A and B are shown apart, each in its own frame.
Chain A
Amino acid sequence: MKRVQFEHSAIPYLFIAPQIIIISIFFLWPSAQAIYQSFLLEDAFGLSSQFVWFKNYTDTIFSNAWLQAAGFTLIFSSLVTFLSLALALLLAVKANEVIHGASTYKTLLMWAYAIAPPVAGLMGNLMFNPIIGDLYNFMNLFGFDFDHKLDPVDAGFVVVLISVWKQVSINFIFFLAGLQGIPKSVQEAAKMDCNSSTRRFWTITFPLLAPTTFFLMVINITYAFFETFGIIDTTTQGAPGGATNTLVYKVYQDGFRGADIGGSSAQSVVLMILVLALTVIQFRYIEKKVHY
């Protein structure tokens, strides 16, 4: 069968032109640059460069520092995604049951959303300051011997805590909206079919929230990968000894602090491929389990 073709003018292309231009300037062109530079070895002053094929890739990816950052990113992203989703879901379920002063609760829980990651990082920095930090003193009050400047686990704890705190509010808003989108009669039918509210939650409410959860999971993984840059930069800056370096932060450090443009570009290309693979996995395998 032949499909109907209408004569069309250039106007549709004109309409999408702004978006195309933005994508070209801020994504396509920098990506092309990164790929190009990842094959070059430059001197520290950027005066000369030579084509080295895949040397930058092999050098960085097989280095211990990169593997350490990759390991930390994996643990960090999983923790941040899981904890911020779990906490937000718990808060949303509880806030959804509140009848009196519901809007006050909701507003209070959403506030943190208005804070930019670097600001959240600064606030966390103050709270974990060894001299005036309340949380720092609180942790040591119980004899934890807590010091995020020296201990890698403590440092990881600080960045995870701040990242989760920052992200819970937006997840909360989406979960709350998702919960309110579940028809009341379905919940009532479940009430007549199942006596245990915990079981009801896992068999009815949670599956019906799956589209929201899936969407938030994609958003949160992206957040943990990229947007936490601001938090790490204002708190640990990768210290101690690169233990809190995420892949993104390492790209920045090697490129802008270490002046290794080639190595940094190679890392960002690898990162791009990783994120691409992750997105494909998410939509291929996890989305299949989601009922819309």
Chain B
Amino acid sequence: MAQVELKQVRKTYPNGAEAIFGVDMHIDSGELIVFVGPSGCGKSTLLRMVAGLESVTSGEILIGDKVINNVSPSERDVAMVFQNYALYPHMSVRGNMSYGLKNRKMPADEIERRITDAARMLKIDQFLDRQPNQLSGGQRQRVAMGRAIVRNPQVFLFDEPLSNLDAKLRVQMRIEIKKLQRRMNVTSIYVTHDQTEAMTLADRLAVINEGRVEQMGVPMELYANPRTLFVASFIGAPQINLIPVRFDGTSLTNGTLKLAGFSDLPTGVDLMLGIRPDVLSIAPEGQLELNVDLVEQHGGENLIYGALLGTKNAAGDAQEICLKGPQSLLPATDDKLRLAFDPAAAFVFRTDTGERLK
């Protein structure tokens, strides 16, 4: 178990493309950190730099208290689980798991003991002599995990390990990864673009956007208190409702919509009002009026999508918003609903910088 420290880590590719702009991060021993962000944001690059598969342009990466910038991947004492499993196709499951240990000159009985333990833990003991191409996707994923576990590394690295699995298996494996990580108490970095996966797995999560860490913290902190427009829109499902507004000194306006209860905001700049779908509630005297377009029934709850009457977005249409309601709330298309929200539970962002003002 070791802590991981990133100090002003940067990555610039030889062709001049910049991928990571100075990341500082401290990961405690035994913590599970999730890097989350849209594709191309640099989260995988950052992980691969920790793994040693990408060079570090400047800055330092420490595992324990050793700088590992110039240590080869196999000597960093990290193990990685790849997105497409990356099993050695010509070796049996046992061969895949023992390969890294044999190369480290570990005694055969110790290798055997570790493989047996890991296989039992992952429920792959009956597949040990099969070839990877005789296994299903979920089983291959377990073998890939087993290959990482037998190494007994200081740090686990997961590069979108569940994205090739079907939805049900993904949820199941997600829970297992979390349990395993708890039990083994190994420092882990997990990369994903799926915010649900990020929210449910992470001890702390780092939202990465265009090569920068936008915000890092425990999942609920990021949900309840996003620092930027990007974090607010990335975290939370269904997505936060964003309504373009301006401040006229007393209230937020858009078209004929006027929302009181806001103060200390700049006038004359484009703002974005963010309201989580679960903050909205049905109220006859509510500030907002919704023209219902569509109801999605999710079983326990319904999501109601509609146009916010009186507003205009950048495209000139009424702004679409979403409301989370109980199972019993089933309005018909084009019904009008009055909605209320607590201004204290809403966020206001500057549109140009994305900075949160309230």
Contacts and interface: CB of A to CB of B under 8 A. Distances in A.
A189 B80 contact: yes
A97 B287 CA distance: 64
Contacts of A210: 90
B88 A186 contact: yes
Interface string B136-176: 00000000000100000000000000000000000000000
15 contacts: A186-B86, A188-B53, A188-B73, A188-B86, A191-B53, A192-B52, A192-B74, A192-B100, A195-B74, A195-B75, A199-B103, A208-B89, A208-B90, A210-B90, A291-B131
B100 to A, nearest CB: 3
Interface in B83-115: 83-84, 86-90, 99-100, 103
Given A191-B73, A204-B88, 4 more contacts: A191-B72, A192-B74, A194-B100, A208-B90
Contacts of A190: 88, 99
Contacts of A196: 103
Question: Does more than half of chain A's interface fall in helix, strand or loop, or is it mixed?
Answer: helix
B53 A195 contact: no
A192 B50 CA distance: 12
Given A191-B53, A192-B79, A291 B74 contact: no
B191 interface: no
Given A183-B84, A185-B82, A193 B99 contact: yes
A192 B73 contact: yes
Contacts of A203: 99
B86 A183 contact: yes
B202 interface: no
A185 B84 CA distance: 8
B89 A291 contact: yes
Nearest to B148: A192
A207 interface: yes
Contact of A192 (B80, B83, B89, B131): B80
Nearest to B74: A195
Contacts of B100: 192-194
A207 B90 contact: yes
B86 A189 contact: yes
Contact of A195 (B82, B89, B103): B103
A183 B83 CA distance: 12
Given A189-B80, A189-B82, A195 B88 contact: no
Query: 7 shortest A-B CB distances, which residue pairs?
Result: A193-B100, A185-B86, A189-B86, A195-B74, A194-B103, A291-B90, A207-B90
Contacts of B72: 191, 195
A45 to B, nearest CB: 61
